[in-house]
Amino acid sequence: MKVKSFLSKRKNIPSEFIQEAKRIVGERYVSEDERDLISYSTDYWLYGVYETQFGKVPAIPSAVVSPKNTEEVQKIVKLANEYQVQITPFGGGSGVLGAAAPFNGSVILNTQRMNKFISLDEISQVAAFESGIIGTNLEKELNYRGYSLGNIPQSISCSTVGGWVSTRAAGQFSTKYGKIEDMLLGLTAVLPDGEILHIKPVSRKSTGPSIKHLFLGSEGTMGIITEVYLSVHKIPEKVVKNSFAVDSVETALNMVREIVQTDAKPAAVRIFDKNETERYFGVVSKRSKYQQAFSTAGKILTGKVSPKVLNILNESKNKTSFEGMEKLAGKVAVIFISEGDKDFVLLEDRVIKKIAKKYNGISIGEKPVDIWLNKRFDVHLGPTILRNGGIVDTIEVVSLFKDAPALYNDIIASMSSIEGAVSVSGHYSHFYPESACLYVTFAGFPKDQLKYYEDTWTAAMEATLRHNGSISHHHGIGFLRKPFMKKELGIAGEKLMRDVINAVDKNHIFNPGKLVEGKDEQTVK
């Protein structure tokens, strides 16, 4: 192949495996064709994506197999054991940590043919889907029947529900509806030895440690999830939107903490730091043109930025003016969406306004919420930055409220100090009574893209660990965060995770090189 892989190469796998696989799933659904090996060579790991424009891909699989149901998955997994062929599961390929990059010349097991709505139990409000359905279509199927799951990640148009479970995904409305682990009631999966596991859907039970939770965040190391049972809710009767301007990220965190520590459960809550407030809401401050584009909580990043780069980054700024926007100048924006039963929503609205007032929050009304709703899936700038030699990515971490302000300051400063950085900004979008998830977006135009990328990630992970934070809230580990897992889990924790995976996957069949160091060191080169 002229297209080159820079992390892992294709291997020769037994031709008998290919022939048998074709008998199981059909000729059309087993491929060793160049076009397919390229198409499944990476997920949305951003540095890998950056390299694709030059004809380089992270990891070329040896083949791609696309079964249509649990039984076919079972047969393929048994076959993989028989021929000692490793498998990397591939859902929507939207993961940003490289979890679906097929290391060690493994065979891709593509779940995207299993993309159907199965059933809706309207009495219990439980819906069943095949694992390869894309989030938008899952929502469309539910909305059509008057329901919603409430998991609305930015990747909803390109990620699968199986991927959500495998990474412990979170959506923009998580403060009310929770993460996917709060929605997942049961599942069907094929274990690494080929046995079919069915976990029946109930809300809570006391039957020993939760087997279900072995699959949440397993990133394809525990087997293949083929069906999921999810808790769903009726489409909200009433929606109320609020927004406020406050003085600082710390004030905003205190305000939101106090709100979520009451019985209030706003569906979406978002704190935009000053840089993101400016970018999202187009606030024109009195600072210089340069500073308008690249301010980070008042701290200007170093390094000269060309007019071309300036133009590219300015593209992301909101151009629409609205009444009250001037009140956001130099402030931190906080937005709320409350939804559900009308009486509860109106009550919650009063609680939010009361506490916001206590923190001198200036009410801006619904408009900033609408602007965010319109822009929340807009990712067009990322590829344009990559095409122009820049690097862009996001990092999400989580900490207790008591550590959150210090973590925010440290992570932004640490990432901003890396040579080549031009923009580092943050927002909080997932809240619990005890903690909040910080989501940092960074862009740089460095001389050495890989060094900048690795140094920035290391800076972010180390800052998080310094402040007792966890290194991932909902994107997962893949291979990119794997080196930080020992510090995250501790030596005992990492060993326990490795032992559990190795006990379940004795032949080291599943997703080589991911999640935890040493789980398959015998096989991964």
Partner 1 sequence: MNKQLNRLIDCSMCPNMCKFSCPVYLATGSETFTPQKKARLILYHKKNLLEDEDGFFDAVFQCALCGNCVVNCQYDDFDIRDFIIEERSTAFKKGFISPLAKDALENFNRFGNPDGERETIDKGKGEIGYFISCSTFKDKDIISATEKILNKAQVDVKEFGGGDICCGAPLFFAGDMDGFKKKAEQMEKLIKEKGIKRIITNCPTCIKMMKKHYPEVGVDLGIDIVHTLTFTKELIDEGRLSLKKVENKSITYHDPCILAKDLDITETPRIILKKIGYSLREPAYTGKDAHCCGGRTRIGDKNTRDAISNMRENELKETKATEYVSACPTCKDVLKSLQMKDILEIIGDALDE
- Euclidean distance between CA atoms 232 and 238, whole angstroms: 17
Q: Which of 105, 132, 178, 340 binds partner 1 (CB under 8 A)?
A: 132
- Euclidean distance between CA atoms 127 and 125, whole angstroms: 7
9 binds partner 1 (CB under 8 A): no
In the region spanning residues 442 to 461, those forming contacts with partner 1, defined by CB under 8 A, are: none
Strand order in the sheet with 196-199: 117-121, 126-130, 224-231, 184-190, 196-199
Residue 523: strand, helix, or coil: coil
Please report, for residues 18, 221, 244, 263, the alpha-carbon distance to residue 251 in angstroms, rounded to integers and kept in the order given.
60, 41, 12, 20
In this structure, are residues 391 and 440 in contact, taking their beta carbons and an 8 Å threshold?
no
1 binds partner 1 (CB under 8 A): yes
Closer residue to partner 1 in complex, CB, 329/379: 379
Closer residue to partner 1 in complex, CB, 37/249: 37
2 binds partner 1 (CB under 8 A): yes
Closer residue to partner 1 in complex, CB, 45/408: 45
In this structure, are residues 268 and 337 in contact, taking their beta carbons and an 8 Å threshold?
yes
Q: Which of 69, 81, 124, 136 binds partner 1 (CB under 8 A)?
A: 136
In the region spanning residues 185 to 244, those forming contacts with partner 1, defined by CB under 8 A, are: none
- Euclidean distance between CA atoms 453 and 364, whole angstroms: 37
Closer residue to partner 1 in complex, CB, 360/388: 388
Please report, for residues 79, 189, 509, the alpha-carbon distance to residue 83 in angstroms, rounded to integers and kept in the order given.
6, 21, 10
In this structure, are residues 101 and 48 in contact, taking their beta carbons and an 8 Å threshold?
yes
* Euclidean distance between the first and the last CA atom of the chain, given in angstroms as a whole number: 20
134 binds partner 1 (CB under 8 A): yes
Amino acid, single-letter form, for residue 13: I
CB 147 → partner 1: shortest distance, Å?
12
Question: 59 phi and psi, to 5 degrees?
Answer: -150, 125
Q: Which residues of 512-521 are buried (b: 16+ CB within 10 A; e: fewer)?
A: bbbbbeebbe
In the region spanning residues 23 to 52, those forming contacts with partner 1, defined by CB under 8 A, are: 28, 33-36, 38-40, 44, 49-50, 52
In this structure, are residues 510 and 499 in contact, taking their beta carbons and an 8 Å threshold?
no
**Which contacts (CB < 8 Å, 24+ apart) does range 442-445 have?**
442/392, 442/393, 442/394, 442/395, 442/415, 443/313, 443/385, 443/390, 443/391, 443/392, 444/390, 444/391, 444/392, 444/418, 444/420, 445/305, 445/306, 445/309, 445/388, 445/389, 445/390, 445/391, 445/420
Q: Which of 69, 81, 137, 458 binds partner 1 (CB under 8 A)?
A: 137
- Euclidean distance between CA atoms 476 and 83, whole angstroms: 30
Size of the site for partner 1 (CB under 8 A): 49
Closer residue to partner 1 in complex, CB, 26/490: 26
Q: Which one of 134-142, 359-367, 461-469, 507-515 is the stretch in contact with partner 1 (CB under 8 A)?
A: 134-142
Closer residue to partner 1 in complex, CB, 90/484: 90
CB 240 → partner 1: shortest distance, Å?
28
Helix intervals (H) in 103-236: 135-144, 161-167, 174-177, 180-183, 212-215
Closer residue to partner 1 in complex, CB, 93/194: 93
60 binds partner 1 (CB under 8 A): no
Q: For the packed helices 274-281 and 367-375, what is the interaxial angle rounded to 10 degrees? A: 80
Residue whose tokens read 């397993």: 218
CB 509 → partner 1: shortest distance, Å?
21
Closer residue to partner 1 in complex, CB, 38/329: 38
- Euclidean distance between CA atoms 378 and 151, whole angstroms: 17
Closer residue to partner 1 in complex, CB, 57/345: 57
At 160, list the tokens: 């699968």
> Counting every residue, how long is the chain?
525
CB 180 → partner 1: shortest distance, Å?
18
Closer residue to partner 1 in complex, CB, 140/213: 140
In this structure, are residues 99 and 125 in contact, taking their beta carbons and an 8 Å threshold?
no
Closer residue to partner 1 in complex, CB, 2/304: 2
CB 376 → partner 1: shortest distance, Å?
12
Closer residue to partner 1 in complex, CB, 50/294: 50
CB 12 → partner 1: shortest distance, Å?
18
What is the contact mask toward partner 1 in residues 367 to 406, using x (rule: CB under 8 A)?
Answer: ----------xxxx-xxx-xx-------------------
Residue 329: strand, helix, or coil: coil
314 binds partner 1 (CB under 8 A): no
CB 452 → partner 1: shortest distance, Å?
17
What is the contact mask toward partner 1 in residues 402 to 431, using x (rule: CB under 8 A)?
Answer: ------------------------------
Q: Which of 5, 62, 74, 115 binds partner 1 (CB under 8 A)?
A: 115
What is the contact mask toward partner 1 in residues 145 to 184, using x (rule: CB under 8 A)?
Answer: ----------x-xx--------------------------
At 508, list the tokens: 């080291």
CB 68 → partner 1: shortest distance, Å?
8
Give residues in contact with partner 1 (CB under 8 A).
1-3, 28, 33-36, 38-40, 44, 49-50, 52-53, 55, 66, 68, 90, 92-94, 110, 112-115, 132, 134-137, 140-141, 143-144, 155, 157-158, 377-380, 382-384, 386-387
